[in-house]
Chains A and B, each alone.
Chain A
Amino acid sequence: MAAVRKRRWLTLGVLWLALATAYFVVPLLATLQFSLQPSRTGFSLDAYRTILQDPGFRQSLFFSFKLAVFTVIISLVLLVPTAYWVHLKLPRIRPVIEFLTILPFVIPPIVLVVGLLQGFRWTPTWFYGGYLILVVGYAVLAFPYVYRSLDAGLRAIDIHTLSEAAQSLGARQSTVLFRVILPNLRAALLSAAFLTLALVMGEFTMGQLMQFPTFAVYIGYVGQTQATGAAALSLLSFAITWVAMLGILFAAGRGAGGRTAQVGGVH
């Protein structure tokens, strides 16, 4: 009786998993099929060829990637010491920071763009007229993702004890942060970087409103002019984002040394 029930649960589980997989995979397959059918006569890679030969594709892709890298750097430089300090010395203001992390979700992008353009009007032209202003906007959008990733990472380690242990051994605050805390936040840093990368690569509204030729703006443009090209581009951007993420994961994994193997509980 128990065996029959177990088998039934197993079947249900497999069915559920198959449904979930289909939910994600079917749209991708449909997009793939559409991108390979520029005409009713048969399959063709023309849409991919056209996109890959378009200089706008490479330019917008590299531009967005550059923006993503800058956004990751600026976000981490600003938020790692902030999150560390809040956890270590100012735990009482954590609810305030958590409230602030919600703001980028509730403030409409148009308000954010207008605010940015007004707020940074006094800055030099090389900043105000260049893409760095967009990086600042993206850093604001990435703030919730980066802060919450770091917050989760900091909660997972006993930063008080680790910091005090390092200090008692003679380490200065900066040494504690770089040699003790950061290496133990690797997963949180990677997660923050992934989320920011994915966010920037797909962000459309800010890029469009501030008139920068980002990858998402390019996808929008292609979507309006070439139906199969847009499908091909969507799949390409999906693949590129994943490859970039796997690249970061691989690079970080190599730097992790031999720390991944758990040798059971030794007591």
Chain B
Amino acid sequence: MPYLELRNVTKRFTNVAALDDVTFELEQGEFFSMLGPSGCGKTTALRIVAGFESPDEGAVVVDGKDLTRTSPNRRDMGMVFQAYSLFPNMTARQNVEFGLRIRGRSADQRKDRAGELLELVGLSAQGDRYPYQMSGGQQQRVALARALAIEPKVLLMDEPLSALDARVRVSLREEIRRIQTELGITALYVTHDQEEALSISDRVAVMNAGKPEQIAPPLQIYAEPATPFVAEFVGTMNRLEATVAESGTVRYGGAQLGVDAVRGRSSGDRVLVLVRPESVTLESLADGGTAPAGALSGRVLSGVFLGPVTRIKVETPEQGQISADVPSATAGRFNVGANVSARFDSAHARVLDLAAE
């Protein structure tokens, strides 16, 4: 039985649907992320779960209980916000104790619980500091401890790392996942950072225009995007509009390329072939040379150093561009203007109907 459900939730802001008939479920103890660009409705969905927005239609159900019309202060949901949200007039410890004080816990109980949680987030020595005496990362840790102090039914996080610098972001997201796993708490996380969502979630919902386009585990989202939007949004994807040919191949411009995923489709069907840059390999060609069968030929347009790999963009004469990630150690072979052939493993290409676009 699902622990948290959004059932057919619709929310409009001045006739624009921020959420359009959204339904998804979370299991107890699951870490679920909503990933998408600005304006896709992910924060609205989270705020509806928190009770800060009311849906126009649909319901929010937690542990079998309909909370749609319950006020936010009665929902027992801890929330970590994007903006620093610690109460400036209270120390870190007083912030963590706030929810317990509201619940009428004794001073000893509050002190013990705040101590435990500050230790859990690695800030037991900073309990007497005020927010302005702490860094952004420390403030978000305290905010996490404060949200956890009330033993919430669901932990809600609205882009809690977006204001932090890259290094702190990586370490803190790992810490959030560790703490969530340790406590076994159900977590709903909102982010526009695909790396963040894919690295810490059990499942990810990729949102677009007020709807989840795909809900799946991170690996499946990455390897088997269900729609062109997911393919584009999560990682970089080469898109080849091709025609199904015979025996597991497609015709793309003048080339015939092997694509296992088209087996079983009718010859002549128009399809969108999706290939990740890391699945594309390049070979140098002599000037004026042509690509071997099953490969595309072209000229190197640019190369962008990304650390361990360099992303080489190749312009093919008729068919546009294709990107390939090559080890940076060997990328020197592919200078701008060099004649190259590009091929990919037929098993690593994903195929969508062009109509799906």
Which residues of A come within 8 Å of B, CB atoms? 157-158, 161-162, 164-172, 175, 179-180, 183-184, 259, 262-263, 265-267
Establish whether residues B133 and A169, one from each chain, have CB atoms under 8 Å apart when the complex forms. no
Q: Provide the bound-state CA to CA distance between A158 and B77, in Å.
A: 21
Contacts of A165 in B (CB 8 A): 79, 81, 85-87, 143, 146
Task: Known A164-B79, A259-B130, A267-B135; judge A169-B88 contact (CB<8 A).
Answer: no
**18 chain-A/chain-B pairs, Cβ below 8 angstroms:** A161-B83, A164-B52, A164-B81, A165-B143, A167-B52, A168-B79, A169-B99, A170-B76, A170-B103, A179-B98, A180-B87, A180-B89, A259-B89, A259-B130, A263-B129, A263-B133, A265-B135, A267-B135
Task: Known A170-B102, A183-B89, A267-B135; judge A161-B81 contact (CB<8 A).
Answer: yes
Closest A residue to B71 by beta carbon equals: A167
- Check B26 for interface membership: any CB of A closer than 8 A: no
Contacts of A265 in B (CB 8 A): 135
Contacts of A158 in B (CB 8 A): 83-85
Contacts of A262 in B (CB 8 A): 132-133
- Check B242 for interface membership: any CB of A closer than 8 A: no
Establish whether residues B50 and A168, one from each chain, have CB atoms under 8 Å apart when the complex forms. yes
Q: Which of B74, B89, B129 contacts A184 (CB 8 A)?
A: B89
- Check B73 for interface membership: any CB of A closer than 8 A: yes
Within the complex, the shortest CB–CB distance from A28 to chain B, in Å, comes to 38
Interface residues of B in 30-53 (CB under 8 A from A): 50-52
Task: Known A263-B133, A266-B135, A267-B135; judge A166-B81 contact (CB<8 A).
Answer: no
Contacts of B134 in A (CB 8 A): 266
Establish whether residues A171 and B102, one from each chain, have CB atoms under 8 Å apart when the complex forms. yes
Q: Provide the bound-state CA to CA distance between A168 and B52, in Å.
A: 9
Within the complex, the shortest CB–CB distance from A180 to chain B, in Å, comes to 5
Establish whether residues B87 and A168, one from each chain, have CB atoms under 8 Å apart when the complex forms. no
Task: Known A168-B79, A259-B130, A266-B134; judge A162-B99 contact (CB<8 A).
Answer: no
- Check B118 for interface membership: any CB of A closer than 8 A: no
Contacts of B248 in A (CB 8 A): none
Establish whether residues B73 and A172, one from each chain, have CB atoms under 8 Å apart when the complex forms. yes
Contacts of B136 in A (CB 8 A): 267
Q: Which 4 A-B pairs rank lowest in CB-CB distance, beginning with the nearest?
A: A169-B99, A183-B89, A165-B85, A168-B79
Establish whether residues B83 and A169, one from each chain, have CB atoms under 8 Å apart when the complex forms. no
Closest B residue to A183 by beta carbon equals: B89
Q: Provide the bound-state CA to CA distance between A161 and B82, in Å.
A: 9
Interface residues of B in 227-281 (CB under 8 A from A): none
Task: Known A262-B133, A266-B133, A266-B138; judge A166-B89 contact (CB<8 A).
Answer: no
Closest B residue to A259 by beta carbon equals: B130
Contacts of B102 in A (CB 8 A): 169-171, 175
Closest A residue to B165 by beta carbon equals: A267
Interface residues of B in 133-156 (CB under 8 A from A): 133-136, 138, 143, 146-147, 150, 156
Q: Which of B71, B150, B156 contacts A169 (CB 8 A)?
A: B150
Within the complex, the shortest CB–CB distance from A156 to chain B, in Å, comes to 10
Contacts of B88 in A (CB 8 A): 157, 184
Given contacts A161-B81, A164-B79, A169-B73, 13 further A-B contacts (CB under 8 A): A162-B87, A164-B50, A164-B52, A165-B86, A166-B98, A168-B77, A168-B156, A262-B133, A263-B129, A265-B135, A266-B138, A267-B135, A267-B136
Central interface residue in A158, A167, A263, by most chain B CB within 10 Å: A167
Establish whether residues A170 and B133, one from each chain, have CB atoms under 8 Å apart when the complex forms. no
- Check B78 for interface membership: any CB of A closer than 8 A: yes
Within the complex, the shortest CB–CB distance from A186 to chain B, in Å, comes to 8
Q: Provide the bound-state CA to CA distance between A61 and B132, in Å.
A: 42
- Check B29 for interface membership: any CB of A closer than 8 A: no
Contacts of B78 in A (CB 8 A): 168-169
Contacts of A171 in B (CB 8 A): 73, 98, 102
Central interface residue in A162, A165, A263, A265, by most chain B CB within 10 Å: A165
- Check B115 for interface membership: any CB of A closer than 8 A: no
- Check B217 for interface membership: any CB of A closer than 8 A: no
- Check B72 for interface membership: any CB of A closer than 8 A: yes
Contacts of B133 in A (CB 8 A): 262-263, 266
Establish whether residues B52 and A166, one from each chain, have CB atoms under 8 Å apart when the complex forms. no
Establish whether residues B79 and A170, one from each chain, have CB atoms under 8 Å apart when the complex forms. no
Within the complex, the shortest CB–CB distance from A174 to chain B, in Å, comes to 11
Establish whether residues A161 and B85, one from each chain, have CB atoms under 8 Å apart when the complex forms. yes
Within the complex, the shortest CB–CB distance from A233 to chain B, in Å, comes to 41
Within the complex, the shortest CB–CB distance from B124 to chain A, in Å, comes to 16
Closest A residue to B75 by beta carbon equals: A168
Establish whether residues A168 and B72, one from each chain, have CB atoms under 8 Å apart when the complex forms. yes
Q: Which of A166, A167, A263 contacts B87 (CB 8 A)?
A: A166
Q: Provide the bound-state CA to CA distance between A157 and B78, in Å.
A: 21
Q: Provide the bound-state CA to CA distance between A170 and B99, in Å.
A: 6
Contacts of A157 in B (CB 8 A): 88
Contacts of A180 in B (CB 8 A): 87, 89
Establish whether residues B72 and A167, one from each chain, have CB atoms under 8 Å apart when the complex forms. yes
Q: Provide the bound-state CA to CA distance between A72 and B50, in Å.
A: 37
Q: Provide the bound-state CA to CA distance between A168 and B73, in Å.
A: 5
Contacts of B156 in A (CB 8 A): 168
Closest A residue to B138 by beta carbon equals: A266
Contacts of A168 in B (CB 8 A): 50, 72-73, 75, 77-79, 147, 156
Q: Which of A170, A259, A263 contacts B73 (CB 8 A)?
A: A170
Contacts of A172 in B (CB 8 A): 73
